[in-house]
Amino acid sequence: MHFKWSTSAVLLLASTVVLFVTLTTDTLNAQEPSPTYDPQQVPVPQRLPVAGLAAESYRQNCAPCHGPSGDGDGPAGATADPTVFSDASVVWESSPAEHFFVTKFGRIENLMPPWRNSLSDEQIWQVVYYAWNLHTNETEMAQGAELYAHSCLACHGESGRGEGIEAVAGTPDFSAQHRMIHLSQADLAERWREAHPERGSDWSIGQQRAVLEYIRSFTYQPVWEPFEVGGPGVITGQLFQGTQNGPAPQQMGVTLNIYRQADLLTTRSALIDADGSFEFGDLPVDEGFYYLAETEHRGIRYTSPILAFSGPDFTEDRTGPERIDTSLPVFEPTSDPTDIHVSRANWIIEHDPGRLLVGQLFTFDNRGDRTFIGIDDERFDAPVTLVIPLPNNAREVEIQDGLIGESYRLRQQILYDTRPVLPGDGSRQIFVRYRLSYADETARISFPVPYETELLNVLVADLPGLEAGLSFEGELQEPSGQETIQGVIFRRWSAPVSGGSTVQLSLRGLIGAGGRDPRQDREPQLNREMQVAAPPLDVRIPLVFGSVVTFVLLVSVGFFLRREKARSPLTPEQTAARRGELIDRIARLDDLHALGELDESSWQRKRASLKNELIEIALAEQGSKVDG
The pLDDT tens digits of the residues spanning 192-243 come to: 999 988 988 899 999 999 999 999 999 999 999 877 788 999 999 999 999 9
Q: Judge if 507 and 405 occupy the same domain.
A: yes
**The pLDDT of residue 542 is above 90:** no
Alpha carbon of 232 to those of 266, 319, 322: distances in Å?
17, 14, 6
The two beta strands, 340-352 and 453-461, are parallel
Residue 486's pLDDT is what?
A: 56
Lowest mean pLDDT among 153-162, 309-318, 438-447, 478-487: 478-487
Q: How far apart are CA 498 and CA 502, in angstroms?
A: 9
Lowest mean pLDDT among 40-44, 135-139, 222-226, 503-507: 222-226
Average of per-residue pLDDT across 487-515: 91
Tally the residues of the chain: 628
Residue predicted with more confidence, 143 or 167: 143
Q: How many domains does the chain have?
A: 3
Q: How far apart are CA 517 and CA 35, in angstroms?
A: 33
> Would you say residue 226 lies in a domain?
no
> Would you say residue 65 lies in a domain?
no
Q: Judge if 360 and 453 occupy the same domain.
A: yes
Residue 98, amino acid: E
Cβ(519)–Cβ(491) below 8 Å:
no
Most confident of 75-79, 92-96, 471-475: 92-96
Q: Nearest Cα to 126, choosing from 69, 59, 40?
A: 59
> Would you say residue 556 lies in a domain?
yes
Considering 310, 330, 350, which residue would you say is the last residue of a domain? 330
Q: Nearest Cα to 575, choosing from 536, 625, 535?
A: 625
Residue 5's pLDDT is what?
A: 41
Angle between helices 185-195 and 205-216 (to 10 degrees): 110
Q: Which residues contact 621 (CB under 8 A, 6 or more apart)?
A: 572, 575, 579
pLDDT digits (tens, 9 = 90+) for 172-200: 999 999 999 999 999 999 999 999 889 88
> Would you say residue 130 lies in a domain?
no
**The pLDDT of residue 6 is above 50:** no
Q: Range of 383's domain?
A: 338-566
Q: Judge if 167 and 284 occupy the same domain.
A: no
> Would you say residue 537 lies in a domain?
yes
> Would you say residue 427 lies in a domain?
yes
Q: Judge if 351 and 255 occupy the same domain.
A: no
Q: How far apart are CA 393 and CA 94, in angstroms?
A: 54
Banded model confidence at residue 102, pLDDT cuts 50, 70, 90: very high
- Report the predicted TM-score, pTM, of the whole model to 2 decimal places: 0.64
CATH number at residue 160: 1.10.760
Burial class, 37, CB count within 10 angstroms (exposed 0-12 / middle 13-18 / buried 19+): middle
Q: Nearest Cα to 87, choosing from 66, 98, 71?
A: 71
CATH number at residue 270: 2.60.40.10
Q: Judge if 238 and 200 occupy the same domain.
A: no
Residue 609's pLDDT is what?
A: 65
**The pLDDT of residue 559 is above 50:** no
Residue 496's pLDDT is what?
A: 94
Residue 618's pLDDT is what?
A: 57
Q: Nearest Cα to 589, choosing from 77, 23, 108?
A: 23
Burial class, 473, CB count within 10 angstroms (exposed 0-12 / middle 13-18 / buried 19+): middle
Cβ(57)–Cβ(123) below 8 Å:
yes
Banded model confidence at residue 9, pLDDT cuts 50, 70, 90: very low
Chain-centre distance for alpha carbon 208: 40
Residue 35's pLDDT is what?
A: 86
Q: Give the mean pLDDT of the chain.
A: 81
